[in-house]
Copies of this chain bind each other. A is one copy, B any other.
Amino acid sequence: MKVVKFGGSSLSCAEQLAKVFQIVVSDPERKAVVVSAPGKRDAEDTKVTDLLIECAASYLQGKEDNEAFEAIVGRYESIAKELQLPREVVEGIRASLLQLLNSDRSNPQKYMDAVKASGEDNNAKLIAAYFQFKGVEASYVNPKDAGLLVTDEPGNAQPLPETYESLYRLREHAGIVIFPGFFGFNEEGEIVTFSRSGSDITGSILASGMRADVYENFTDVDAVYSVNPNIIRQPKEIIEITYREMRELSYAGFSVFHDEALMPAFRAGIPVNVKNTNQPDKPGTMIVKERKLTNGPVIGIASDDGFSSIYVSKYLLNREIGFGRRLLNILEDFHLSFEHMPSGIDDISIILRQQQLSESVEEQIVQRIKEELHADDVKVQRDLALIMMVGEGMRETVGTAARASTALARAGVNIEMINQGSSEVSMMFGVKAGDERKAVQAMYEEFFAGVTV
Residues of A within 8 A of B (CB): 247-248, 251, 260, 263, 309, 311, 315-316, 318-322, 324-325, 328-329, 331-332, 335-349, 351, 398-399, 401-402, 405-406, 408-409, 412-423, 426-428, 430
- The answer to whether A409 touches B398, judged by C-beta atoms less than 8 angstroms apart, is yes
- The answer to whether A325 touches B328, judged by C-beta atoms less than 8 angstroms apart, is yes
- The answer to whether A320 touches B337, judged by C-beta atoms less than 8 angstroms apart, is yes
- The answer to whether A421 touches B414, judged by C-beta atoms less than 8 angstroms apart, is no
Contacts A325-B325, A340-B342, A349-B421 aside, 5 further interface pairs with beta carbons under 8 A come to A247-B345, A260-B316, A342-B422, A344-B422, A344-B423
| Least distance between A174 CB and chain B CB atoms (Å) | 37
23 pairs, A vs B, C-beta closer than 8 Å? A247-B346, A251-B318, A263-B315, A318-B339, A320-B337, A342-B422, A343-B419, A343-B422, A344-B423, A345-B426, A349-B421, A398-B408, A398-B413, A398-B414, A399-B406, A402-B405, A402-B406, A402-B408, A402-B409, A405-B406, A415-B420, A416-B421, A418-B421
Q: Which residues on B sit within 8 Å (CB–CB) of A413?
A: 398
8 Å CB contact of A332 from B311, B322, B405, B420: B322
Instruction: Tell me the complex Cα distance, A255–B253, Å.
Output: 45
Instruction: Tell me the complex Cα distance, A319–B328, Å.
Output: 14
| Least distance between A438 CB and chain B CB atoms (Å) | 12
- The answer to whether B340 touches A422, judged by C-beta atoms less than 8 angstroms apart, is no
Give the nearest-CB partner of A407 in chain B.
B402
What are the nearest 7 A-B pairs in CB distance? A344-B423, A417-B421, A399-B409, A325-B328, A402-B405, A342-B421, A349-B422
| Least distance between A10 CB and chain B CB atoms (Å) | 29
8 Å CB contact of A324 from B320, B328, B349, B402: B328
Instruction: Tell me the complex Cα distance, A435–B346, Å.
Output: 26
| Given A409-B399, A413-B398, A422-B311 contact (CB < 8 Å) | yes
Q: Which among A251, A341, A421 has the highest number of chain B CB atoms within 10 Å?
A: A421
Q: Which residues on B sit within 8 Å (CB–CB) of A406?
A: 399, 402, 405-406
| Least distance between A358 CB and chain B CB atoms (Å) | 17
8 Å CB contact of A405 from B342, B405, B419: B405
Instruction: Tell me the complex Cα distance, A315–B344, Å.
Output: 28
| Least distance between A442 CB and chain B CB atoms (Å) | 11
- The answer to whether A348 touches B419, judged by C-beta atoms less than 8 angstroms apart, is no
Q: Which residues on B sit within 8 Å (CB–CB) of A331?
A: 325
Instruction: Tell me the complex Cα distance, A354–B367, Å.
Output: 35
| Least distance between A353 CB and chain B CB atoms (Å) | 10
| Least distance between A348 CB and chain B CB atoms (Å) | 6
Give the nearest-CB partner of A321 in chain B.
B337
- The answer to whether A422 touches B248, judged by C-beta atoms less than 8 angstroms apart, is no
Instruction: Tell me the complex Cα distance, A172–B146, Å.
Output: 95
Give the nearest-CB partner of A339 in chain B.
B318
Q: Which residues on B sit within 8 Å (CB–CB) of A414?
A: 398
- The answer to whether B420 touches A342, judged by C-beta atoms less than 8 angstroms apart, is yes
8 Å CB contact of A417 from B335, B341, B420: B420
| Least distance between A311 CB and chain B CB atoms (Å) | 7
Give the nearest-CB partner of A412 in chain B.
B398
- The answer to whether A343 touches B340, judged by C-beta atoms less than 8 angstroms apart, is yes
- The answer to whether B325 touches A329, judged by C-beta atoms less than 8 angstroms apart, is yes
Instruction: Tell me the complex Cα distance, A345–B337, Å.
Output: 12
Instruction: Tell me the complex Cα distance, A343–B426, Å.
Output: 10
| Given A332-B321, A332-B322, A332-B325, A426-B344 contact (CB < 8 Å) | yes
Q: Which residues on B sit within 8 Å (CB–CB) of A328?
A: 322, 324-325, 328
Give the nearest-CB partner of A351 in chain B.
B421
